[in-house]
Structures are given as C-alpha cells and as structure tokens.
Structure 1
C-alpha cells in the first residue's frame, strides 16, 4: 500500500496542541462520567429502588436507567449538531461538558429511595437522559472541532488523539473504581463511597467546561460564516436529500465500532466468567489491558490516514479486528492464565475504531458535517449498542465462538462500507 501522493504532513502548532489537549481531556471526562454508572449499577440499584424488590429486579431497573442514556443520544446529538452547523462548533462543544457535569454531580448528591421514595429513581432517570443527550454531542462535536482546527496533513493524528481520549475515559473509570475498592472497606463503598466517583467527575467536568471557554471557533466554520455558506435550512433535511450514501456507510462503520468496543472490551469480563470460568479479578485486569491497547491502536491507526489511503487501511484493519476477536474468544480459553495478553492483543487489533471518525468526517461537506456525524453515529450506536449484548447472549448458548463470529461479520460489513464511503474535500 503506497502513501497518498497528496499527504504533506506539517507540524502541529502550540495552539493546535492546546486545542487537542483541552478537547481530549473534556472528552475523556465525559466518557468517564457516562460509564461509571455501569460500573456502579449494583450499588445504585440498592439505593434508588425499593428494598422489598428482588435484587435481580432492582439491578435490571438500574441497567434500564443506564440504557435510557443510550436512547437519548440520537435526539440530544442531533439537536446539538443542528446548532453546531448553524451557530458554531465552539458553543455546542462547551455546552456538552456542562450538560454532562451537572447531572453527574447531582447523581453523587441525590438522596436515595428511603428519603425521596419514587421521586429518587425518576430524578435519576432525568439525570441519565441529560447525560445521554450530552454524550450524543460530545464525540461528533469533538471530531469535527479538532479536525477543522488541524493543520494540513495532520487531521488523522488530531482526530485519533481525541478518539484515544474518549476511550481513555473508559480506562479512567475502571481505574477509579479499582482505587475506590482498594481504599475503602466494602461496607463503606456500599453506604456512601460509591458517590465519590460521581462527585469527582462532576467537579472535573466543571473544570473542563471552564477551560473550554478559551477555545476558538474553528477556521472552517468562520470561513463558511464569512461566505454565508452555513446551512440556512435544517441540516438534517440537506443530509437526507443529498447525503444518504454517506449516512448509510457511516452507520455501518459505526456498527463495527460498537462491536469492537462492546464485544472485545465491555462484554469480555462477564463472557469469560460465564463461558470459561475465569475469575472476576483476572477479567478486570484483562479488560484494563484491552482498553489501554485499544487507546493506543486508535491513535496509531488514525495518524496513518495522514500518510496512507483510508480504504486500504480499512481492509487491513478489518482483517486485524477479525484476527483479534478469534484470538480472544477462540484461542485464549485454552490458555486461561494468559488472558491478559490475549485481551491486550485484541485491543491492539481494534485500530478500525480509529478509522471510523475519519471516514465520517470525509463523508460529509463542512456545511452539514456536524449533523452528518451526529445523525449517523448516534442512531447506529443507539441501535447496535443496545442490540449487540442481546444478540451475543442469545447466540453463546449455541457456540462459545459466537462473540468472535459476530465481530468478524461486522468487520466485513464495516470494511465494505468504509471502501464505499464518499469522500468530500
């Protein structure tokens, strides 16, 4: 595979590095705030639902609240993307941090069912929906923001660093929960210690919002605004009229992204515990290794798009993703004491995740870029992010290789979609 003839990388300026740092930090904190709910779902269930209910029912209700955040992503993301394409990227990019920080802090301070009764879970639902709306605008807005600030030949690197920051938020959440359990006794964590990660996330979220005030509007949007080329009608209407192919290809590549993250990282611990009787401690360490290697791989693969053609990288990454999935679920069970190494290997094979935002950024013109990314990414993530656990759970009784087969199938779909995806200047 030959380098692109038009690839002329230039160094990132100090201003661009500052923008990348602020964007990545904010993205990591938002994803941290979003995922700690899942890590603490069992304790949340005990505090916000009646003690008279069965434990499994309370936990199911808590995960229902967690899922409500995913359902709110498309609507929240589309609304924020609309204003991002019409009024500017910076305003919406700063608003998304505030919309995440406020409910996260309130979750850590909200009294439980014994104090508020049914008002407690209803309030928690509202806060979770607010988080979902915020996260729906964060990733698409961040990708658009840093790519439009990046210098020539460094768009891939800039986008990859932000994507690495987003996945780093999942890693940060895992580390904070491990430190919490290491520092406090189990009864203290169950009583009030579980609130600490939410309070920390809320406080740091306000800090990220304050820092983002110093960001500048992107040069691309400023130029469109000066030329009066911003969307005068609904961006969604333009997308559905002129960019249906870009939407479809972007949704398919996002499906592959969700499969890689959900199946190889988030679902790996319970699947290994259930299918192959690996201890929870080992699977947690393996999950951390997979997340760390995933973060590294997306940055590396994204930066390679500044040098090599995206389509060729898509094919190579799709094959690598398939190999990583087959290794984790097909070979690792025969070497249970090497699970961490196989999990790390599967994370390194997830470079396709870093190509997805690059493909989406190129699929839409600047006038509707924010809305195009948000519509495709959030709808696909809401649908497939919700369906993937159910599909895997229904297939694993038939074959323990079901998770790997599913990832291989989505890798094929994603590689074809990335190859067929349109490219705008």
Structure 2
C-alpha cells in the first residue's frame, strides 16, 4: 500500500502566515462563498417560489413540503458521485485543477434554474428539470467543499491550521449569508406579485455570473506544496485512491461520517429550514422579517467558524469540541423554546444570532477530517466519507425534522422543540466522536487503520 511510505504532513510546517498565505485564503474563501451561494439559494425560495410555481395545486401542503425539500435534498444525494470522481483526479493530477473545475460545473445549472419555465407553462416537466439542475449542482459541490478544505489544509502552517480552515469555512458559509442578503434585497425592491412573476429569477441568474467570477479568481491560486512534494517524490497514490480509503482507513471514514451528520444537521435544520419553515410557517413571522433573521443567523455562523477555528489552535480539539458543540446544545434548545407567535423581533434576532454563532461548530468537521487521512489519499478520503455521509443524512433530515415538528407524531406536546432536540442529539455525537484518538491526534504512520 503506497500510503504507508508517505511522510508529508497534514499542513505546512510551523511558520508565520505570509502575504501569499493570506492571498490564498482570501481567494479560496471568496470563491467558496460564490459557489455555495449558488447551491443554497434554492432553499430561500422553497416556500415562496418552488411550492407555488413548480408544484401542482392539487397536492396537500405536507406533500408539497416533502417534494420541495426532497428536490433540495436531491442535490446532496448525488454529491458522492461528483465528489469521488473529482477527488480521484485531485489525488492523481492536482488539487488546484479539480478545485477550479468544481466551481465551473456549478455555474451552468444555477443559471438554467433562473430561466426555467414553471409548472403552469410545461407541467410535470418543470419540477423534473428543477430536480435535474439540483442534481448537477450537487455533483459540483461534492467536489468543491472537500477540495477546498484539503487545498487550504495543505497551504496553511500547522500552528494556524484551525484558523486557516475557519477562514475558508466562513467563506463557504458566507454563501448562505450572501443568499439571505440577496433574497432580502429582492423582497424590498419588488412586490410579492413581481417576485412571483419574474424577480425570483434574478438570484439564480446572478449565481451563474458569480460562478464565472469564481473560476476567474481561482486562476491566481497555486498548487499545494504538499501535492508538489508528493509528485516530486513520485509518492502519489498508484491504486484507485477511493479503494485504498475504504480498505485501510475505515475508522477515519467512521469519524468523518459521524461529524458530517452533525454538520449537515446544523446547516440544514438550524440555518436553512428554520427561517422559512419554522419562523415563517409555524410562528407566522412576516417573510421579510424571517429573511432578515436568516441573514443574521448566517452572518453569526460565518463568525463562529472563524472563532472556533481559532480556538482549535489555542485549546486543541477535545476542549474546543466541548465548548462549541456544548454551547450549541444550550443555545439551540433556548432558541426554539423561546419562539411564540408575535415574538418581539429584537428577541428573535438576538436569540437566533446566538445559536448561529455556535453553529460555527460545523468547522470542526473539516479540521478533524483533513488530518485523518494520509496526504496521498487525503482528497479521496475526505470527499468519499464526507459526501456519502452527507447524502445519507441530508436525505433523511428534512423528513425527520418535519416529523419531529408535527405534534401528531413522536414528540407530541414537545414538538416545538423538535429541531432543537435533533440538533442537540447530533452535537452530543460530535463531542463523543472527538474523544477518539485519531480524531484529536490526526493520522500518522502508526495510526493506520
């Protein structure tokens, strides 16, 4: 097995961040922002656009919910395909090439969604085409996020490793903030009838343009020093990297799977589902107000990623995990218990910002994930385990969340806490997973699974 002879470290040796490092962080983060914007903008229009324009009127509200969120989840289901293919070539021909290709593949389907005919115009073909575009977006993002994390991990000095990944992940989650901001501007500039008639298309068309900008920005990035070292020493993986991953690195895959469950739940439930479905749908918060709350939560999430990445460098993994995920348990249960019809907006915004800050716990997944595999198969290892897990959990999370929120089902009178209970459960899983030595120490020649 070729990975046993690999000695390249998870990131660059200890040194100060240089001007080139900051340039790499900024360009990578901005590109991630623009690409993730393309991927999540759909979620901001599920209730206001997707259900009324792309679903037949004869469906009951709950079925429309399932279909609309199911199309959203479909983007996650195909992530492993794009992720595994791009990671294979990322481990064989270079991180940078695949890092750039992923964003190029995102731009086209996003633009097409912006010009799609509605159900009224072409019938069932409309939601089918929407589903296809979401699947293409999923294939693209499957290569983007693991590739971005590996790219930065192999550029960043080890004493700033958490901070570097925190900056990058904040850029990626910044796509949610950008999507929220654009949706607010659309809501202010256009009436509801104008938005339904044509203005909803603007964010998607802008997304296609953003994708082109991202491709251009990544021309200025250089290949990672670690990949160059592997290529120079002819130490690149000679077999199919993904086969080596699942054959020899099962524990690392399990760790990533569990942490991905935690990350995916925080993002999907806490950040994407909560504003429209819970604030707007359950507590009748006006659309503009819940969109503002969404923007605040996404901004807090972005700050949280940087904060907990920085904290990782100072306090190391196990203590950081207890602080950030433990804080998320407290703030999420408090937030969902504080909601009521007619809630004061200042209280709503503050409580959601607090939960959003601790949702930055999601950054611990790439921090642990990128160091759990040897360099020669790192991209394939992280991408395969992360995307397969995300596909599984994103498929069940929207339906499970809707089930937990329904007072006629499992939680009954406590259904208003359903989202908070789910988030707290996966937070506990993250804290327990961090106690595994491979999770907090990282891969070494002696830790091969």
Cα gap change, 1:421 to 1:255, in 2 (>3 Å): farther
Q: Decide whether the 8 Å contact of 2:114 with 2:205 is kept in 1.
A: yes
1:387 counterpart residue number: 396
2:365 counterpart residue number: 356
TM-score, length-normalised on structure 2? 0.86
Q: Decide whether the 8 Å contact of 2:96 with 2:222 is kept in 1.
A: yes
Q: List alignment gaps of at least 5 residues for structure 1.
A: 1-6
Matches within 5 A, 1:370-409: 370-396=379-405, 397=407, 398=412, 399=414, 400-409=416-425
1:109 aligns with 2:115: yes
Q: Which moved more, 1:382-391 or 1:296-305?
A: 382-391
Of 144, 150, 156, the match for 1:144: 150
Deviation at 1:18, TM superposition (A): 1.5
Matches within 5 A, 1:186-265: 186-265=192-271
Deviation at 1:58, TM superposition (A): 6.5
> Aligned equivalents of 1:64 and 1:418: distance in 2?
31
1:37 counterpart residue number: 42
Q: Which moved more, 1:86-95 or 1:16-25?
A: 16-25
Cα gap change, 1:113 to 1:335, in 2 (>3 Å): closer
Deviation at 1:8, TM superposition (A): 9.0
1:366 aligns with 2:378: no
Q: Which moved more, 1:276-285 or 1:84-93?
A: 276-285
Q: Decide whether the 8 Å contact of 2:283 with 2:341 is kept in 1.
A: no
Matches within 5 A, 1:326-341: 326-331=333-338, 333=340, 336-337=343-344, 338-341=347-350
SS in 2 for 1:336: coil
**1:312-364 deviations in Å (ceiling 9; x for gaps):** 21122221111111211234559932111111111122232121110101111
2:320 counterpart residue number: 313
Q: List alignment gaps of at least 5 residues for structure 2.
A: 1-11, 445-449
- Please tell me the root mean square deviation across aligned C-alpha atoms, in Å: 2.5
> Aligned equivalents of 2:159 and 2:423: distance in 1?
31
Q: Decide whether the 8 Å contact of 2:372 with 2:443 is kept in 1.
A: yes
Q: Decide whether the 8 Å contact of 1:250 with 1:421 is kept in 2.
A: no
Of 414, 424, 434, the match for 1:418: 434
SS in 1 for 2:27: helix
1:159 counterpart residue number: 165
> Aligned equivalents of 1:275 and 1:48: distance in 2?
22
Deviation at 1:266, TM superposition (A): 2.0
Matches within 5 A, 1:41-56: 41=46, 42-44=48-50, 46-48=52-54, 53-54=58-59, 56=61
> Aligned equivalents of 2:121 and 2:425: distance in 1?
49
> Aligned equivalents of 1:409 and 1:59: distance in 2?
24
Cα gap change, 1:283 to 1:199, in 2 (>3 Å): closer
Cα gap change, 1:224 to 1:252, in 2 (>3 Å): same
**1:385-419 deviations in Å (ceiling 9; x for gaps):** 23222223222321122222222221111111122
2:19 counterpart residue number: 14
1:179 aligns with 2:185: yes
TM-score, length-normalised on structure 1? 0.91
For these two proteins, the number of residue pairs brought into alignment is 418
2:310 counterpart residue number: 303
Cα gap change, 1:309 to 1:268, in 2 (>3 Å): same
Deviation at 1:109, TM superposition (A): 2.9
1:96 aligns with 2:102: yes
